Amino acid sequence: MIIDLFRRVLGRKARIVDQPRLRVHALAQHGVRRDQISACALRTTDALHKAGFEAFVVGGAVRDLLLNRAPKDFDVATNATPDDVRRVIRRSRIIGRRFQIVHAMCNDEVVEVSTFRALQGSSEDDQAADEHGRLIRDNVFGSQEDDARRRDFTANALFYDPRKQEIWDYFDGLGDIQARRLRMIGDPAVRYREDPVRMLRAVRFAAKLGFRIDEGARAPIRGLADLLSNVPSARLFDEMLKLLLSGHAVECLRQLRAEGLHHGMLPLIDTVLDEPEGARFVNLALTSTDQRVADDKPVSPAFLFATLLWHQVRVTAARIETEGESAVPALFTAMDAVLDAQKVKLAIPRRYDAVMKEIWSLQSRFLQRGGQRPYRLLEHPRFRAAWDFLVLRAEAGEVEASLAQWWEDFQDGDDDARAALLVAEDRPKRRRRRGGRSRRGGSDEGGGNGTRGSSDDDGEDA
């Protein structure tokens, strides 16, 4: 009655999640069978049950099975402490500092086992928050109900008991999944302040699962978006990578913009998406990434970020050239400037920098289609990634489609076909040289389509 009164007074935007009330759903109600759980997760839960502990498959795996999706992994929650789990599961190891968990290993599969966590610590040493409300320490064991309370969304707070094939549900998460609704547990504003990354997770889950964000969970997001500036850049990068590799990157980015969360996440993308040329290239790149994820093909994060930042690299390099710098040094200066600016907010790991720079710098070498240069480019370890990048540029109308087609024909052709392509490229240039001023070094130094002779060496050093 009290909750109903609050709802009538405050309206739907302030929807309050009911106090936890355990509902146990039988197999006939949910349809998730024991044989749908991975062998390693079953072995882990069975061993803990045999040792006298409670053990449940929890979180995203349960949610995905209810949606007829194949879970990427299976996590287990238990009332056993990490030391208890370590004793019961022979092939396991304890990891973590902020909160210890156990990795149970079965051949190539790893199951993450966590002890039920408390909603609040028993002392200030157990749990602490910064001045913005973000939790910076949270390391207390608790009950299953506590563990359900502290999870972010109702759809992620379901516990599956493999023995009885039951789902334990404290916040009507099953009902929300059936309604395809993403609903926050607790006061959304408070939960976002505790961990601002939850706002990004709301967008990612909604886009990935095809859910709508409950109005109560959606309403505070725009006003609290600035809290993301307090999140460590490395953690922000990890969450952004999950979002971009979710298989629904296009929809995620659209929803980030709709919720006002895109500013600061990829600062240099903010302006790109407002420019037709840049927006087309980025959308093509994200669509291609989504398709590769759907086809279960590998996706390179370095390639993805190279596509997202390319437009700004081009714009910056063009500006530097107008200041009197030549093309190749301007490009390398622009690369460093764009990456440095991006890392202020999003800590792209340095191991990706070299790959991104190679992909960018090799683009000019695709213009060089005479002499031995195409053969040398084929042998470059980043050729395939750079060529894929060139194809995207051609689809976006940034370069002629015939250039990408030429390189496809060249790499697929035999020796005779390749030689014929080279001759077709070089013959007009040789006629012009005979009639005009000679160039030192012949066709191999001159390059095709007006490229500078020095760019080949610069590209090799990228």
Q: Three-state DSSP class for 112?
A: strand
Which residue, 45, 28, 24, is CA-closest to 162? 45
Contact 134, 117 (CB under 8 A): no
DSSP 8-68: HHH-GGG--PPPP--EEE-HHHH---GGGS-HHHHHHHHHHHHTT--EEEETHHHHHHHTT
What are the CA-CA distances from residue 275 to residues 69, 265, 284, 393 (Å)?
37, 18, 14, 15
Q: Find where tokens 């994200």 sit.
A: 286
Q: How far apart are CA 418 and CA 421, in angstroms?
A: 5
Q: Angle at Cα 355 formed by Cα 379 and Cα 228, nearest 5°?
A: 165
Q: Which of 301, 300, 336 is nearest to 316 (CA)?
A: 336
In a 3-state reduction of DSSP, which class is residue 75? Answer: strand
Catalytic residues: 73, 75, 152
Beta bridge partners of 105: 110
Cβ contact 53:221 at 8 Å? no
Please tell me the distance from the alpha carbon of residue 220 to that of residue 31, in angstroms, as a whole number. 35
Strands 75-78 and 109-115, sheet pairing: parallel
**HSE on the CB side for 345, CA within 13 Å?**
18
